[in-house]
Structure formats: structure tokens, C-alpha cells
Amino acid sequence: MPICTITKEELAPENAVSYHTIRPSLAKYITKKHPEFKADSWISHHALNEFRAEYVEDALEEELGEITEIEREVIDSLKEHDIISEPPDDEDEENARLTFGERISDIIADFGGSWKFIISFGVFIVIWIGMNTLLWKSGGPDPYPFILLNLLLSCIAALQAPVIMMSQHRQESRDREHAEQDYRVNLKSELEIRHLHEKMDHLMQHHILKLMEIQQVQGELLRDLAERLPPRKGE
């Protein structure tokens, strides 16, 4: 049974990875840390994933300069082969987590930014002005220039603005979480694709070398057979 060069443990065939099947850049990285890891060595899948995560972390630090918590989560997911994408939250579940004030702010923000509010408030203003204009001669409650209406509008605007800002702040928080989640998924996809490209290039190169070696052996066999054949008459 093969023995892992790193952990010195016996490996089952399905858990053993040969040096030649590892892409060259990662193999050089492992050899740099463990010089005993050579062309005839074996390594376990778990140890390989550990080195792979360290290799990705070093590469990201070299490219980005500093590893953030999000990138650290991506590296851990590569190490453990975890899925980092999450399904979108159900609307009922999301509403259940909201406080009473957050629900009220969302309702007010949705209604205050709709045509229903614009039309209904426009109708209210027209009715208010019309009634106070018609009742002016008989002493209306808010005669021209409608100071009470101005006060009412100012109070509504003063209360509506912070409520809408609270709702927008929560929406910005949700958008930030979605952007971070998209970044995690995109970063992991990019790293996985880069790994697959390097591995495919390595496998193709290894396959070509094997074919060339087989061709050389076949050529040697043909030359050996040709030397063993008896010479033809007349030659």
C-alpha cells in the first residue's frame, strides 16, 4: 500500500494521490515545504487539500496584498469542499425575522413611494383647498394661504423621511450581503477554474510524454524485430 510522504500513514488506493497527477506549481509548493516529497511520492487527499488551501492563500496574498474574512471563508470552503452559495431567503421567513418597527418602516416606504400615495394625497390636498376656499366666507378652519395645510405637510415630510431612510438602510444592508455572497461564489469559481485549467494542462502534457515514450518503445521494438529477421535472398 502507498504511504503518504507527509503524514507517513498507509493510504487506501482511493485516498492516494501520486506526485505525477498533481499540477506542477502545487507540487513544487509542496516540495518547497517538504523536500522529501519527490517524483515517486504519494500524498493523501486530506493533506493535498491542506496544501492546496495554503497555496491559494499565498497566491491571493501575493495578488491582493491582504486576505479579508470573505476570502478566508472561500479558502476554507476549498479546503473542505463545501458549497458557499446559499438559496435566497423566503419572503415569509425574512418578514418573520423583522421587528415591528422594521415592518412599519417597510410598509410606509412602499406606500410613500407609490402612485397610490401621490394620487390619494393629491386628491386630499385638492379637497382640503376646495373646502376651505368654499367655506372661507363662513369662517373655514384653514383659510388662504392654508397655513394649517403647510404645517400638516411639513410634519408628514419630517416623519416620512427618517422612516424611508430606515427602510433604505436595511435594503442597503441586504444588498451588501448579496454582493458579498456573489463575490464569494465568483472568487471560488475563478479559483476552481484556474485549478482545472492548470490540471488539464498538466494532464495533457503528461499524456503527451507518455505517448512519446510509448512511440519510442515501439520504435525500439520494431528495430529489434528488424534486426532479428533473416535477410532476404538477393540482399
User: Which cell goes with 100?
Assistant: 415591528
Of 75, 93, 74, give the one whose Cα is nearest residue 84.
74
pTM: 0.48
Alpha-carbon distance of 15 to 2, in angstroms, equals 10
Q: Which residues, 6 or more positions from 77, have their beta carbon under 8 angstroms from its beta carbon?
A: 83, 84, 184, 188
Lowest average pLDDT, out of 119-123, 150-154, 214-218, goes to 214-218
Range 90-98 average pLDDT: 65
Q: What is the pLDDT of residue 209?
A: 65
Q: What is the pLDDT of residue 111?
A: 84
Alpha-carbon distance of 94 to 229, in angstroms, equals 84
DSSP β-bridge partners for residue 43: 17
pLDDT in tens, 170-224: 888 888 888 888 888 887 787 777 766 666 665 666 667 677 777 776 776 777 6
Alpha-carbon distance of 28 to 55, in angstroms, equals 10
DSSP β-bridge partners for residue 42: 4, 18
Domain boundaries, the chain: 1-82, 99-235
Residue 18 has phi, psi (to 5 degrees) of -80, 155
Q: What is the pLDDT of residue 119?
A: 92
